[in-house]
Amino acid sequence: MRSLVATTVLLVVLAAVFGSLAAVQIRDQDLSAVFGKPPLAKEDLLYDFDAGNIVRLNLTNSSGDRASFRKRGGRWLMEEPAEDRADYRHLEGLVDFARNLRIEDIIPARSATPEECGFRAGHFDIELINTSGRRVARFALGRRTAWHRFDTRNNLLYETVFVRPGDEGSGDYVYVCSGPEVRRSLLEKGFGVLRDHRPFLFNPAQLASIAISSGTGELLLSRSTPEAGWRITKPLELRTDPAAVKSLLTTLTNLEAATVHDPGSVTTLDPDEPYLTVDLQVFNADGEAVPAAVLTVEPPATPEATSLLGKTAGRPAVFEFPLTPVNGRPTLSQLALSINDLRSKTLADLNIAALRTITLDATHLPRPLIVKLGTARTDGRPRWLVNYGPRESLANELTVAKLLTAITRDRVKGFASDAATDLAPFGLDAPEKRVLLEGGDGAGIELLFGRDGENRYFAMRGGAPSVMEIEGSTFAHIPTQPHEWRDSLLWPFNVVDLTGLRIERRGREPLNLTYNFIAQEWTARHGGEDVTASLNVQRANNFLTFLESLRVASWLGTDAPEARAALADPDYALTVLYKRLNDRGEPAGITPVTLEVARATKSRQNRFFYGRLSGDPEYFVLDLPAAQRLAVELLEDR
């Protein structure tokens, strides 16, 4: 009877034990809390959790100092030791570090003392909690080890540290772990480094306005929508320099204090006139500009001060900004604080795709020169056409490009005045040049150009008070000479009506070629001798193709003394012979057109050549490649 009772009691106890084990198994999905976890394997990750679900992070150091952080609305906030915004980059880095701790070696705890592993003094306890309130990681971070892991995939060395898990049932093991970036050096600086040292936290794409008040005055940049461009709206309405605005936004985004103090730990002056104020507004969901942040910076405490103190509304913190860059971080001294820092340094912002008409006038022109976007008669493509002279003709595309580059890309030298009433000192009371740029809707931009008695060049927009000083090269690239707008194609070369070519070179007998377009046949005579057999037909055909597309480097106009002198004794002459037809389409003789070319200098390093066409009063310049192709040898034995 006594044996039966004992057996019954034993069975009840065993049932209770196994029932408890089953409950633990159902709750935790394992029995490690009861029996302890076996050691993990090398190259395993110490923890497996979803980093995106971590919402709490607690830190404690060996001195008992504690820091607690909570993630709300995608932002990390410090709750202890101060209630303030935390540095998102550092907190996410700690989470990533814990998630990617890789085991490199396993040491039973009895084989390593806490002093050897750095768990006695100088260690950090780290705890991570997810959205369900479950603790997914808790471990002590010890000292660094002397061993590094080399990753052959990216050729990087990873530091390793001693890690001791503190999770229930984790077993009594110490792990040597590597991570993507060991964060121990960050924590050694103190938990205060985890506070966000940036006074601003904003999305640059949603920024609506930037108001800056400093010793140089007040400046307001604003835009009407997130897609609109930035403009200076105070103290003047001005265009902005996109690169300068981008630099300002980058500086504001990355501006970082060297130290963040609690308000009661430092003495602040709270002056009536701050050294600097930066007020930001952003667009809300309705597209309205609403306040975002205001940074107020105090004047230097002493003339020898190396830092400035500042506050941001809504932050329980005092920022200490160094006056000189530290570790490459932007400083307050790098902020663009004046109009001239941020205003556009070009003559105009222009939507070139919408441009339809360019009107140029100058003191030497009897009437304006008009360039319009039209259609080429030859191939129907859109082309710029110039209307100056007896008829409309193709404009020089390179000249169009130079003009638009000078207006939209050349940077001005400076700003002579923003309130000019007397334009005579700048030569703008009677402008030497005037350009009107008009779009298809008729809206236009007028630019005036002049020079003073010291040969300095100035420009201004029509109706605006600002006068800009420009480079002489910019002034020169505002072409107002009609010949500058002439198409670079030398001639309308007509291979269909071609009957022959005569090529004359200095010191050599002329080469006379006849050509039959229908039969595609050539004959050649050189010094009275038939040399048709020596003619390289393929080379001759390629020569015709080149002549059809021959372009000048630039037109010089009719007044070109140096070109006239050089061409008095040309080095090369090409006469093109065309058949002339009468009104009935019948042969009526031959029309010759002669191209003469001469070296610009006698130097062996000469790179340019002067040229002229018979019947055309304007001289031109050919570059070296064009001159070399004109001089190609068409006979095999030459």
Q: Which two tokens stand for residue 424?
A: 């005579």
Confidence (pLDDT) at 70: 97
What is the per-residue DSSP string for 120-162? Answer: SSS-EEEEEEETTS-EEEEEEEEEEEEEEEEETTTTEEEEEEE
Segments of the chain with pLDDT less than 70: 1-38, 168-171, 182, 269, 389-390, 638
Domain 352-485 fold is Immunoglobulin-like (2.60.40)
pLDDT per residue over 537-567, tens digit each?
999 999 999 999 999 999 999 999 999 999 9
Confidence (pLDDT) at 467: 95
Confidence (pLDDT) at 172: 83
Q: Domain coordinates of the chain in residue numbers?
A: 35-194, 204-342, 352-485, 498-630
Q: Which of 187, 531, 598, 457 is nearest to 522 (CA)?
A: 531
Q: Which of 90, 19, 13, 102 is nearest to 59 (CA)?
A: 90
Q: Residues 6 or more apart from 550 whose CB is under 8 A from it? A: 489, 490, 491, 493, 626, 630
Confidence (pLDDT) at 619: 98
CA distances from 86 to 157, 200, 379, 393, 461 (A): 29, 12, 65, 67, 49
pLDDT per residue over 326-368, tens digit each?
777 888 888 888 888 899 999 998 888 889 999 999 999 999 9
Give yes or no for a contact between 113 and 119, defined as CB atoms under 8 angstroms apart: no
Confidence (pLDDT) at 327: 76
Confidence (pLDDT) at 32: 46
